Amino acid sequence: MKWWDLSMSDKIDVLSIGDIVTDAFIKLADDQAWTYVDEHGRKVLAMEFGTKVPFADANVVTAVGNAANAAVAFARLGLNSGFVTNVGGDQEGRDMITALHNEHIDTRFVRVNPGLKSNYHYVLRYGAERTILIKHEEYDYHWPSLKPAEVPAWLYFSSISEHAIPYHDHVADWLDENPDVKLAFQPGTFQMEAGAERLKRLYARSEVLILNREEAVLVGGGNHEDLHDLINKLHDLGAKIVVVTDGPDGAYASDGENRFRMPLYPDPAEPVDRTGAGDAFASTFVAALIKGNSLEGALQWAPINSMNVVQKLGAQAGLLSEKELEEYLRSSPEWYRPERF
């Protein structure tokens, strides 16, 4: 289905919610920057101050961000994908809408804000890691009025501005009115900083809650060294399925009765850019569930898309189709299987 074939009667499988941004990637020259660990244990990126610093190259990537990346992943995996977001009334906003159209994403709920800028971030790349300079524009967030035929089967809620905290109540109210809609929640920075108590209605309503290990400690308050405690604390918030990613150690998932550990899919080469790896994992896991996969099946899908994303620049270039993903799965090593823990 092409985006221009979508009509108001078409059923959206999954409606993503969150901010959208243009990323300007600036690759720092290896000999012009360095990293070190400061007295607080933080890894710091450093370069010479008060001078001109040569850089290696720069690339601009349009229409990204946690929820935007998820919307693209869903579309490439064959789902009818819609997006609720805000853009400014500028060229960057028009370019982002066009980019979403080109990915066959339903943009009927994208709100254009005349007179305001679109979100624009700067990504400083050093090796395969990155530091992102962010600024969320202060939009007046409104939850759209959905007709009965427009109600999706799933919502996927992720990173949004610190100015949009009351907006979460509107989403929670709508979910109360539509109990059959399932929620996947991948909290962003400001959502986690708001605290689990402030957003308790969304955590309690989550069919799927996805966090990395450090985020799980921040949100649920569990013991960082005890995966079972971390997962228990997140289930206590109300989430039915809990997923905790753990970098090179893979990921863990629980549906309240069964718990599995899943290793990473082997990298075919050294990663080029790790931006979007977490989004690829989270959205692919949810897409697998939407398509009827089991918890174990979703765990096998998710690392494959994550692996391929880090082989490309930006969060979306490496996102796979279902056919491509299944080909990787068929050729996976024998040990690439979920294990109970």
The pair phi, psi for residue 304, each rounded to 5°, is -65, -50
The DSSP letter of residue 188 is: -
Q: Tell me the CB-side half-sphere exposure of residue 323, using CA atoms within 13 A.
A: 0
What are the helix and strand counts (H, E) for the chain?
Answer: 10, 16
Sorted by where each begins, the domain ranges of the chain are 3-20+64-118+139-340
Q: How far apart are CA 75 and CA 71, in angstroms?
A: 6
Determine whether 340 is exposed, middle or buried from the number of CB atoms within 10 Å of its CB (0-12, 13-18, 19+): exposed
Question: For the whole model, what pTM was predicted?
Answer: 0.91
Residue 38, CA distances (Å) to 31, 46, 161 in order: 20, 11, 29
Task: Show pLDDT as tens, one digit a residue, over the chain (341 residues).
Answer: 333 344 444 689 999 999 999 999 999 999 999 999 999 999 999 999 999 999 999 999 999 999 999 999 999 999 999 999 999 999 999 999 999 999 999 999 999 999 999 999 999 999 878 898 988 899 999 999 999 999 999 999 999 999 899 999 999 999 999 999 999 999 999 999 999 999 999 999 999 999 999 999 999 999 999 999 999 999 999 999 999 999 889 999 999 999 999 999 999 898 887 888 999 999 999 999 999 999 999 999 999 999 999 999 888 999 999 999 999 999 999 999 999 99
Q: How far apart are CA 23 and CA 25, in angstroms?
A: 6
Domain 3-20+64-118+139-340 belongs to what topology? Answer: UDP-N-acetylmuramoyl-L-alanine:D-glutamate ligase (3.40.1190)
